[in-house]
Amino acid sequence: MKKPLAVAALSAVAICALRAQTITGDWLGTLHVGPAELRLVLHITAADAGFKGTMDSIDQPAANGTPLDSISLKDSKLTFAVAAVHGSYEGTVNADASAITGTWTQKQTFPLEFRRPPAGFKEMHKPAKPSEIDGAWMGTLDMKLIKLRVIFHLINTEDGLTATLDSPDQGAMGLPATSVARDGKSVTITLKQIAGEFTGELNPVLDAIEGSWTQAGNTTPLNLTRVKDAAALERKRPQTPARPYPYRSEDVTYENKSAGITLAATFTVPQGKGPFPAVVLITGSGPQDRDESLLGHKPFLVLADYLTRHGIAVLRADDRGTAKSGGDFTSATTADFASDAEAGVAWLKTRSEGDPQRIGLIGHSEGGIVAPMVAARNPDVAFIVLMAGPGVSLAQILVAQQRLILQASGMSKEEVDKKAEQQRAMLKLVREEKDNAALEKKMKQQFAGVVPDDQMGVQAKMIGSPWFRWLLDYDPAATLRKLTCPVLAINGEKDLQVPPQQNLPPIRTALEQGGNRDFEVDELPGLNHLFQTAKTGALSEYAEIEETISPVALDKISSWILKH
């Protein structure tokens, strides 16, 4: 009996060794997401208990070296998770271990095949003698509604020209080009990961490239000029505070126990002896970090700095599923964000630096919906400040918002009216069709020839999201009528996203109807949705304006809080 057992044991060892050899090493795959492509590289090694590995996203350098979790190989079935991005993979290794065919799941499921990299494949390229067009080239994409700077960094290597793309106004830096080609005067730079391509012609003195940018079927003129002074790449943001601060700044984490997630935040505490009045800052729509970073501006960092210098403790957190906070942003609704804000209030009550009787909320834009929701059901909230907070439903705001923004971009009245009708039709569809797959199909059918399919697919996913469906017909006024705590509601006169004429009167009416005796509703002259001093309020001005938040707005908020 002993001999067969020994043979079996040796066979098991041999099989384990074979399996380790079949999947260890490097694997290259391309993930297709709509028109975009992302190249992924797996690095798998043997470990005592099986395997370990990392994944590089060549086209997203910040994601390189991401650990693979729970790697399992059983009967040629390979599975692993990537907890850092809430993704997982399941595939089948072929007989000669040259390919793994399977699917990648990250909110949605996509086909993904890995193969051994071809001979000579390199993730990194060694620099070579600079070409005559090496260096930084900058241009501005005029998207009508907004202007975005783009910077291409061209570098010659042993393998030819390479390039990376920066979009500093979007906080996207170092996106590597999939390919760079030069043929005489012609230059083509392709970035498949964002379905984008620049094509242009060099001028005779090699200091400008006149061309165009094409992305997802849309082409926009883009002219690049050689950057001679690195200072030209930096936008001035004079209000952004620099360390050392004249107060204590502490990075913290706290639990939202009801959601089972951990939120990452910064807590700033004034100098002197507390306890101090304290506030939780609540961001606007979209995945926002704790500074509400946008186009090079950090509005919540500026606001927190100002308030803390004036004796108010401030807690500001990354949105769930964003930056360093846990959770899933894409499946969250405004009600979930209210739950996160409540967790912030609960955490502040545990800190001796804050006065538990003077904890308030400051909500910007969508945060101006969240703050009343939290205050209406939490007597612990002593006051709230609404910065461009809605007073009517999202459906009403979207139509007015689109009209104002398109008018500011120079679009004709006829075209604006046409766009408004399209938007109303989309909102009608999302109300009628509860199945997202059917919604997308109907939208593509109804708007065929008007909106490209790729764009309509993105639009369908956005308006079919839990967040949009929840918020579409939510009535902020009903919640405002329940508030008994002091309220400050402010809007910029030139706000095109949450128009003051549409929203401030309903806020005032709702507070009056609810019997609230301590509120102030103000329209601040000359300010836009971000509370910058603006010329027109157009979105294209946000990045161009150096001011992050008007001192008038900062003083208004701080003074009002200290009086209460």
Q: Determine if the pTM surpasses 0.75.
A: yes
CA distances from residue 282 to 47, 432, 504 in whole angstroms, order as listed: 45, 31, 19
In a shared domain, residues 60 and 204 = no
CATH number, domain containing residue 87: 2.40.128.120
241 assigned to some structural domain: no
In a shared domain, residues 545 and 482 = yes
In a shared domain, residues 302 and 316 = yes
9 assigned to some structural domain: no
Instruction: Report the alpha-carbon distance of residue 128 to residue 178 in Å, rounded.
Output: 19
The DSSP code for 409 is T
Q: Which of 81, 115, 149 is the last residue of a domain?
A: 115
In a shared domain, residues 294 and 378 = yes
Beta bridge partners of 219: 214
326 assigned to some structural domain: yes
239 assigned to some structural domain: no
What is the per-residue pLDDT across 520-533, written as a single tens digit (0 to 9) for each? 999 999 999 999 99
DSSP reduced 3-state for 304: helix
Model pLDDT, residue 126: 84
In a shared domain, residues 340 and 403 = no
Q: Which of 193, 228, 263 is the last residue of a domain?
A: 228
In a shared domain, residues 38 and 171 = no
Burial of 420 (0-12, 13-18, 19+ CB in 10 A): middle
Side-chain-side CA neighbours of residue 545 (13 Å)? 26
Domain span at residue 423 reads: 395-471
In a shared domain, residues 553 and 481 = yes
In a shared domain, residues 402 and 425 = yes
CATH number, domain containing residue 258: 3.40.50.1820
Instruction: Report the alpha-carbon distance of residue 553 to residue 547 in Å, rounded.
Output: 12
Per-residue buried b or exposed e for 220-237, using 16+ beta carbons within 10 Å of the residue's own CB: eebebebbeeeeeeeeeb
CATH number, domain containing residue 159: 2.40.128.20
In a shared domain, residues 370 and 420 = no
In a shared domain, residues 146 and 79 = no
Model pLDDT, residue 17: 38
CB–CB of 29/112 below 8 Å? yes
In a shared domain, residues 481 and 339 = yes
Model pLDDT, residue 49: 75
126 assigned to some structural domain: no
CA distances from residue 153 to 174, 225, 544 in whole angstroms, order as listed: 9, 12, 22
Model pLDDT, residue 79: 95
321 assigned to some structural domain: yes
240 assigned to some structural domain: no
Q: Which of 471, 499, 515 is the last residue of a domain?
A: 471
Model pLDDT, residue 255: 97
One digit per residue, the tens of pLDDT, for the chain of length 564 reads 333 333 333 333 333 433 444 789 999 999 988 778 888 999 999 888 789 999 998 887 767 889 999 899 998 999 999 988 888 999 999 988 999 999 999 878 899 999 998 877 777 778 899 999 999 999 999 877 788 889 999 999 988 999 999 988 877 788 889 999 999 999 999 998 888 999 999 999 999 999 999 987 789 999 999 998 877 677 889 999 999 999 999 999 999 999 999 999 999 999 999 899 999 999 999 999 999 999 889 999 999 999 999 999 999 999 999 999 999 998 999 999 999 999 999 999 999 999 999 999 999 999 999 999 999 999 999 999 999 999 999 999 999 999 998 888 888 999 999 988 989 999 999 999 999 999 989 998 888 877 777 778 778 888 999 999 999 989 999 999 999 999 999 999 999 999 999 999 999 999 999 999 999 999 999 999 999 999 999 888 998 899 999 999 999 999 999 998
In a shared domain, residues 373 and 254 = yes
Tally of structural domains, the chain: 4
Instruction: Report the alpha-carbon distance of residue 8 to residue 15 in Å, rounded.
Output: 10
269 assigned to some structural domain: yes
